Structure 1
Amino acid sequence: MPANLKENLDSLQGLARERTVKTQNIEFDLETIIKRIDRGVIKLDPDYQRRHRWSDELSSRLIESLLLNIPIPVIYISQDVDVDEETEGDTSRFTIIDGQQRLTAIYRFMKNELELTGLETLDAINGLRFKELPPFLLRRLDERTVKCLRIDSTLDPQVKYDIFERLNTGSVKLEAQELRNATSRGPFNKAIKSMASHPQFREMLQIPVENPEGSSKVRKMEDLELVLRFFSLKGGQYKTLSKGLKSFLTSKMNEFNSLSPNEIDRMDSEFRSCMNFIYHALGKNAFAKYSIQDGEIKKKMSSFNAAVFDAISVGTFDYFTIHQLEQRNLDDTGKFTGYHVIFSDPDFFSAVSGATADSAKVKYRINKVIEFLAQ
């Protein structure tokens, strides 16, 4: 044994003892789980979890597995409040660390909200909801239990986040912003969820305002990442981008989470003023990508492009004053007249077309918009 390890053995044992996770294997029948979710005892969608992304077909296949008694993966549940402790308001005793998508599918079906679709083995019940199932299948669901691993987080709340990150880091299950949502917690992370619901912002992202949850951008939290990109790059910060954009955004997320409530409120106001200005100037296709020939639009290649979003949103904020953005005078919004010509620049077109996270391309496309506005 190395000498330095012997010297630090006591502290190592103490740390290992302190961070050892206390777990208990339990099983819940489906009815008990549904009742506990309804009563708020189990919180199905904690802040660090992703949004529900399963399609009705994937959810239906899970229900089919339950009906056929096919084992499903263990659900990880965090016990956040001791059983003997009294709680008030909407405080939940348990939250879901891993298994939110599965439990949401089960909850939706047993609440009669999910219509089965895409089943192959039990194809005869496609189109049915929970209350329409034949009695023998209802009895099968009554007898099904879900295996859970309950983790005691009452002593150290950080435990559940550590486990969540370890279960998901390195897998393909989470998008970058979904992982940041889990691991970079704080007031700014909460605030961007409100900002991303701004109606004009959603419309320019081609997210249906009447059904935002139907958009993959919302389900994968891409809308939240775009808000983060705006704040990370604006004010000339894009000029400091040297490392990868993904790690740059993560470091900015942690930095912004340490800001005061007043500073975050100011950022919220700036974002909304900027999005309102852009919408007023360019409409719902503000962040579209175009192919230009002889100075004219040949083709709209996409209604939304994230790299174009960087260029237009950051370029706008950095060129205009906050007063101009709030006032939205015709002289100012009119500066975008004919802006499509920037797509005829091969370097700009390249900067919004491939390897768009490259730092040189990020800087070029934002500078190009600022140059256009300044001419």
Structure 2
Amino acid sequence: MNSLQEQIDTMSKAIKTDSYPMSIGELAALYKEGDLNISPAYQRMFRWDIEQQSALIESIILQIPIPPIYVFQSEDGKWNLIDGQQRLSTIFKFMGILKRDMQDIEGGETNKNLYEREPLTRTKFLPALEGKYWEDDDPEKSLTDVQRRYIKRSKILIIIIDKSSDNFAQYEMFQRLNTGGSHLSPQEIRNCLLVVKNEDVYKWFKMLSENEDFRNAVPISEKDADEQGYIELVVKYFVLRYSEFEVRDSENYNNFITDEILSLIDDEKIEREKDEDIFKRTFKLIFNIMGENAFKRYNPEKDTHYGPVLVGAYEAIVPGVSENIEYYEKNHEMLKKCIDDIYTSQEYNDATKRGVRPVARIKKLAIASRNLLNGSEN
């Protein structure tokens, strides 16, 4: 066991950060030029109501300290926001420069792509803010030039996390810095790492997650979908296909999935053209044969599937079908029988019983899938 000081020294090298104050005017310029992305893939939409927005503007005017903004610096030097989206969105919306989505950052600024102006409401210390805009033809509704300059010159501490920080350290930092009112799901945090690691691969995962047959075959809840559940299932698809599962059963499940997918990207084990074809064929076949029932609990006496999608069922079915897709495309009845039989198999029930840790479960089910869906009649 390493000493505390050795552990401190090791992790200090793994985490590389810098920090300095920047004026709101400087941040606004970076944002307008596309050098600051406040709506990366792992962030949610702008959700603060006008009372929350007004309170922040009041704090800036009165020089009440606001929390630091955390960004991640990518290889091209651009900044992706980690923590502080609601704050920066509020400031930029009030200034009239907030763009509606991620694509607008690349596509040039036009009025139709900007959030509509909204007047501030009265606040605790500055009730006269009610009805005020950043700028308006009516002087009674507008901040003065002096007030606008004051806001633009106000500074916020920016903490920059460097790309050279290792994967585990990045994931832990993103998780701990996730301090907003709407906490990010594990996959939303994982998306951040995917964007940093290889944005093209992330966009490809996102494209696969929008495949119609895939979504029809795996009808997850609206809440799970909002929290990037479909991208998580795509990530898990490739982990199930390619991981060697050389991991302790006690390992943290989310850390395992993150480490595995980043390793697969680093090792270039995923062949995009080939794997995209197999992915699409797999879920097209599953949906054509099973409809939306393949991953739902099975009652053999009534020969019916019911309830929500089961994570364990996905883990038990996907590897075997995808690895033997050509066989099952020619043997539809066998595929249906094999999928139904999984739910009553000893392997499946042992892996999904109460008390089995998630990493142990996925390891057991990946093996069981290859045994139970092995592309033969045995």
Q: Could you tell me the TM-score, scaled by structure 1's length?
A: 0.63
Q: Which residue of 1 aligns with 2:263?
A: 255
Q: Is 2:228 aligned against 1:232?
A: no
Q: Which residue of 2 aligns with 1:186?
A: 197
Equivalent of 2:307 in 301, 309, 319: 301
Q: Which residue of 2 aligns with 1:85?
A: none
Deviations 1:78-133 (A, max 9, x none): 6779xxxxxxxxx77544343234434555674564798xx9979xx9xxx9999x
Equivalent of 2:21 in 25, 29, 33: 25
1:148 is paired with a residue whose SS is strand
Q: Which residue of 1 aligns with 2:288?
A: 280
In structure 2, what is the Cα distance between the partners aligned to 1:272 and 1:255? 23
Change (3 A) 1:265 1:365: closer
Counterpart of 1:292, as a letter, is: N
Q: Which residue of 2 aligns with 1:43?
A: 37
In structure 2, what is the Cα distance between the partners aligned to 1:53 and 1:352? 35
Q: Which residue of 2 aligns with 1:73?
A: 67
Change (3 A) 1:40 1:367: same
Contact 2:240 2:319 in 1 (8 A): yes
Name the stretch that deviates more: 230-239 or 304-313. 230-239
Change (3 A) 1:62 1:27: farther
> What is the CA distance between 1:336 and its match in structure 2?
0.8
1:284 is paired with a residue whose SS is coil
Q: Which residue of 1 aligns with 2:143?
A: 139
Q: CA RMSD in A?
A: 5.2
1:26 is paired with a residue whose SS is strand
Equivalent of 1:52 in 44, 50, 61: 44
Q: Where does the alignment leave 5 or more consecutive residues of structure 1 unmatched? A: 6-11, 82-90, 209-214
Q: Which residue of 2 aligns with 1:212?
A: none
Q: Which residue of 2 aligns with 1:84?
A: none
2:21 is paired with a residue whose SS is strand
Contact 1:77 1:150 in 2 (8 A): yes
> What is the CA distance between 1:238 and its match in structure 2?
6.2
Equivalent of 1:98 in 75, 79, 83: 83
* Aligned pairs (5 A) from 1:317-356: 317-318=322-323, 321-324=324-327, 328-329=329-330, 331-332=331-332, 335-336=335-336, 339-340=339-340, 343=343, 348=348
In structure 1, what is the Cα distance between the partners aligned to 2:298 and 2:134? 50
Q: Aligned pairs, how many?
A: 328
In structure 1, what is the Cα distance between the partners aligned to 2:359 and 2:169? 33
Change (3 A) 1:144 1:281: farther
Change (3 A) 1:166 1:336: closer
In structure 1, what is the Cα distance between the partners aligned to 2:339 and 2:134? 54
Q: Percent identity?
A: 18
> What is the CA distance between 1:227 and its match in structure 2?
1.7
Q: Which residue of 2 aligns with 1:246?
A: 254
Q: Which residue of 2 aligns with 1:367?
A: 368
In structure 1, what is the Cα distance between the partners aligned to 2:322 and 2:348? 19
In structure 1, what is the Cα distance between the partners aligned to 2:250 and 2:240? 13
Contact 1:21 1:152 in 2 (8 A): yes
Change (3 A) 1:274 1:201: same
Q: Is 2:213 aligned against 1:200?
A: yes
Contact 1:53 1:220 in 2 (8 A): no
Deviations 1:130-181 (A, max 9, x none): 999x98676399564564334578xx65269899656434466443334434
Change (3 A) 1:175 1:43: same
Q: Is 2:56 aligned against 1:62?
A: no
In structure 1, what is the Cα distance between the partners aligned to 2:155 and 2:205? 35
> What is the CA distance between 1:256 and its match in structure 2?
0.5
Deviations 1:217-269 (A, max 9, x none): 35433322222222222368569874433343233223201233873433333
In structure 2, what is the Cα distance between the partners aligned to 1:191 and 1:97? 22
Contact 1:277 1:333 in 2 (8 A): no
Q: Which residue of 1 aligns with 2:157?
A: 149
Q: Which residue of 2 aligns with 1:8?
A: none
Q: Where does the alignment leave 5 or more consecutive residues of structure 2 unmatched? A: 99-113
Change (3 A) 1:262 1:372: closer
